[in-house]
Chain A
Amino acid sequence: MLRRQLLHFGAFTLGGLPVSLVHAQNGGQKKLVVVMLRGAVDGLSVVAPYGEREYAASRPQIALPPPGTDDGLLKLDALFGLHPALSPLKRHWDGGQLAFVHASGSPDPTRSHFDAQDYFESGTPGRKSTPDGWMNRLLTALPGEPSPTRAISQGQTPPRIFAGTASVASLGLGPGAMQRRAIDNPQMQAGLAKLYANDAQLSGTLRDATEGRGEMARSMAAGEPRSMDPSADAGAPSARSFAADARRLGTLIRKDPYTQLAFTSVGGWDTHVNQGAARGQLANRLASLGEGLDALSAGLGDTFKDTVIVVASEFGRTLRQNGNGGTDHGRGNVIWLLGGPVAGGQMLGEWPGLDASALADGRDLAVRTDFRQVLAPLLQRHLGLSETALATVFPESPQTWRYANRLLRA
């Protein structure tokens, strides 16, 4: 059987041995998936502080109704409720696999999307000259053997977070992402390798492309020789959707025992106009995101128990709705943590409240938790990074978070 599969997918091999067969299966690898919401999602709608008087008062048209009312929030605790469009995720909260860190974000006060995303991805707020992204530094610092698919970047363009020297495989979007392409032809690969011999960057990119694609194709094919794309037989629509892409990513991570890091991003959160409440523009986007995260979990299957999914955005939005039933750029947001190892079902971090005196610049939810304070314990306790290794990922990291011990299951 193994032999037949090898023959069957011989076309994808480079001539080298498939890494997944060279290494023995070492199950139980810990995994980290980062989902970035580009455009600054309104965290005060994702996890709404309905218990604060100022919440509804500041948002006459866009505050979500309290739990227990029509279209109301899904109650998390006495203060917070989850956006009703995220109902597919509620079971993860109830099952203790979903937690939130509110009033979190970057210590740098910029309200520029582009600078704030850059800081989140470089892991060095306030410093633009950092050449690489923190997930690439993490990939270098991870204990254990390297592999072409140890890190997967999903999307068409290279994200800043993976910029750097370590090799990252890339997985395209859409149902055709895993289709056989001209670059999978060994003769083409050989020709390209010769052409790129004097170009270190392109030869590196070529190596990452061919090895990564070969490995991903083999992993995806394992056990399901007739279906290259699992989303195709999972009733997913043929059109591109975040849910189908997320499921594909999850499946790939499940099937490739060497994948430990993955990154994907979703845009369209910059709701300056008519963002809506329980229904409307933001609700529709959140519904599709929630469905996607649920599909990602489903795709991960039994590796969900070893995976932490972090969902974050560059900054939050104004407490008060603006003149158009939308929100402008703000500061504090909410970080989502989903996965088997997460000590879920709880709100983590300090909550500054929404009193005028507690707001940043008198208008925005304050940042009480640095995003690196949340990521650092994940890197150390979940992925097994040493103190020294952590310092290479997050130089000038803020002090240890008071909630670090409560983030993961014992």
Chain B
Amino acid sequence: MRNRRFILSSAAALASGVMLAARRSQAASLATSTTTTPPLSADERALHALNRLGYGPRPADATAIAAQGADAWLERFLTEQLEPRRLPQPEALAARLAGMDVLRLGQAELLGRYREAIKATREAKREQSRGMTPGADALNAVREQVRPLVADAATARLARALQSPAQLEEVLTEFWFNHFNVYAGKGPVGVLVADYEQRAIRPHVLGRFRDMLGATARHPAMLTYLDNAQSVVAGYQPPQRARRFLAERPALKARVPAGLNENYARELMELHTLGVDGGYTQRDVTELARMLTGWGLDSRKALIGGTGDLFAFDPRKHDNGAKTWLGLSISGAGPAEGERALDVLAAHPATARHLAHKFAQAFVADEPPPGLVQKLAYNFRATGGDLREFTRTLIRADEFWQRDAYQAKFKTPYQYLLSSLRALDLPLAEPRKLLAALAQAGQPLYGAQTPDGYKSTAAAWRNPEALTQRVQLATTLGQASGISPERLSVTLGASLSDLTRRTLADEPAGQQVALLLASPDFMKR
């Protein structure tokens, strides 16, 4: 009870702190440059918050801002967004998610389904090649048992991003998932990707970085995607009971891991924590890979109809020899070596700098203000990687509310799609078509092949082909929505420039909605 009151009052303090920051930056810009950079108006601040801490305004948001006044609305919005658990989920969204197996089943069940379907389809194809007529169920097992799970995972993400009132949580989920990217196209990762997001990412986006790091390190999606499940001590021999079984199956035997795989160890330092300039060497990569040997999947659970989580540490696969890593002497300590590595990496100053830069780049500007990056990095270290404080530091920063930051980010295809659907008040009627549009735009959901995920900068997305596709999407969705240009203009409110408003007035009515969505104001956020 006391706890709850504390949270409430600290959230309120935060909100007033934010308002202070916003006004302070207003005062500061007034003092320094009265002519060139007028401070953001209250309406602009409200839209800025919706665009950066969410996927943009819906018509209902414009109505609420008008009814409550922009300052009051913003204060409440910011308070609520940092306490997402208190925001009720709309019934339609809850109902949609409740019907999805991919969110309900445990890891072992999901992997089991995947393996059974793969096996059934493989055997059916083998029968077919021998001239037999296998059952359609078996032949189509992958298509009918596996692909819907993967499609549901993506639909769930889109539905939440579109309809959840906890918009900041959605935006942070996108950011942190992307930071710890896994690729749904690699083997069983596709059926595990929803569990990964739900269990390893979402609970921690306003929690501790170290917890998220540990959760991703142990999740079967990551263990599979970056191959750590297969990285073993050099000269590893499978257990006695498996040897005879394998002796009769040379194809399987050839796949038994026999030594190190550096993939995860490298990306763990390069992408997840220290950053590529974090000061580690090739030797550090190899040594870290040795420390992480044995972190894998419980093979029995994964093979036979098991239940629950799949992570297991296998001491037989672990290299328990002494290591030297980042200048530290590590003596053999089983799974504690990996835990220690994660502790060291999470607390490392290079990690704080790396995350601070990436966060500020995603939420403020492609070239983030150095002062903000320092502030975030300092906060990250001072709080031991508390991501609620990290996010709060961003939202309280003057740099976040300055005019330089306003409408300064070019939307990614994902952000462009979601903000269009929200502004047009469209339901998620045909997710498959929307997912296909994202893929065509170069940002398939859960489909970033490489562990660095997608970039958040304009240079990565602004090109003629992207523009062609956005204009197409704007036209198609505009027509589908049947919304009037006047209503859309009201929703986009202060984010529309005078030039856009004036230009639009002279354009044919049938083209105005598409032009609004293709305007520079809506391409950016």
Chain A residues with CB under 8 Å of chain B are 38-39, 61, 110-115, 153, 155-158, 160, 163, 168-172, 174, 181-183, 187-188, 191-192, 194-199, 201-202, 205-206, 208-209, 212-213, 267-268, 270, 272-274, 322-326, 328-329, 361
Contact = CB atoms under 8 A, between A and B. Distances in A.
A206 to B, nearest CB: 6
B518 A192 contact: yes
A49 B348 CA distance: 43
Contacts of B520: 195-196, 198-199, 202
Interface string B458-493: 111111111111011011100000000000000000
A114 B261 contact: no
A18 to B, nearest CB: 17
Given A163-B459, A272-B263, A194 B503 contact: yes
Interface string B477-520: 00000000000000000000101100110011001001100111
Nearest to B444: A156
Which 8 pairs, one residue from A and one from B, show the smallest C-beta to C-beta distance?
Answer: A323-B259, A156-B442, A209-B464, A158-B463, A170-B465, A182-B475, A157-B442, A183-B471
Contact of B440 (A156, A168, A171, A322): A156
A328 B459 contact: no
B100 interface: no
19 contacts: A38-B450, A113-B450, A114-B270, A156-B465, A157-B465, A182-B476, A183-B468, A187-B511, A188-B471, A191-B515, A201-B462, A202-B520, A205-B464, A209-B464, A209-B468, A272-B261, A273-B227, A324-B261, A325-B254
Nearest to A159: B463
A322 B262 contact: yes
A187 B474 CA distance: 15
Contact of B503 (A113, A195, A206): A195
A199 B518 CA distance: 13
Nearest to B512: A191
Interface string B39-69: 0000000000000000000000000000000
Contacts of B449: 39, 267-268
B344 to A, nearest CB: 20
A128 B261 CA distance: 28
A197 B258 CA distance: 61
B259 A155 contact: no
Given A169-B464, A328-B262, A323 B514 contact: no
A157 B519 contact: no
Contacts of B471: 181-183, 188, 192
A131 to B, nearest CB: 9
A205 B230 contact: no
B263 A328 contact: yes
Contacts of B508: 187
B20 interface: no
A163 B463 CA distance: 10
Interface stretch (B231-239, B306-314, B355-363): B231-239
A258 to B, nearest CB: 16
Contacts of A324: 227, 230-231, 255, 257-259, 261
Nearest to A61: B254
Interface residues of B, number: 57
Interface of B: 227, 230-232, 234, 236, 254-255, 257-263, 266, 270, 276, 282, 285, 440-442, 449-450, 452, 458-469, 471-472, 474-476, 497, 499-500, 503-504, 507-508, 511, 514-515, 518-520, 523
A195 B519 contact: yes
Contact of B282 (A111, A160, A205): A111
Contacts of B518: 192, 195
Nearest to B460: A157
A272 B257 CA distance: 12
Nearest to A273: B227
Contact of B463 (A157, A194, A273, A326): A157
Contacts of A206: 464, 467
Given A181-B472, A183-B467, A328-B262, A112 B514 contact: no
Given A182-B475, A195-B518, A323-B234, A157 B461 contact: yes
Given A188-B511, A195-B520, 10 more contacts: A111-B266, A112-B276, A113-B452, A156-B441, A157-B460, A172-B465, A172-B469, A195-B503, A202-B523, A272-B227
A115 B276 contact: yes
A188 B503 CA distance: 12
A115 B503 CA distance: 43
A77 to B, nearest CB: 31
A192 B464 CA distance: 13
A155 B442 contact: yes
A213 B468 CA distance: 9
A205 B270 contact: no
A79 to B, nearest CB: 28
A181 B472 CA distance: 6
B255 A208 contact: no
Contacts of A183: 467-468, 471-472
A158 B461 contact: yes
Contact of A208 (B270, B282, B464): B464
A157 B466 contact: yes
Contacts of B258: 323-324
Contacts of B260: 322-323
A111 B276 CA distance: 10
Contact of B511 (A191, A196, A267): A191
Contact of B276 (A110, A181, A202): A110
Given A157-B461, A324-B257, A273 B230 contact: yes
Nearest to B506: A194
A323 B500 contact: no
A191 B502 CA distance: 12
A158 B500 CA distance: 26
A188 B514 contact: yes
Contacts of A113: 450, 452
A270 B232 CA distance: 19
Contacts of B467: 183, 202, 205-206, 209
A329 B262 contact: yes
Contacts of B262: 272, 322, 328-329
Contacts of B254: 61, 325
B182 to A, nearest CB: 14
A158 B459 contact: yes
B232 A323 contact: yes
A268 B262 CA distance: 17
A367 B295 CA distance: 34
Nearest to B523: A202
Nearest to A210: B464
Contacts of B282: 111, 361
A191 B460 contact: no
Given A181-B472, A325-B255, A114 B227 contact: no
A323 B466 contact: no
A356 B471 CA distance: 57
Nearest to B470: A183
Contacts of A187: 508, 511
B464 A114 contact: no
Contacts of A156: 440-442, 465-466, 469
Contacts of A328: 261-263
A301 B476 CA distance: 38
B260 to A, nearest CB: 5
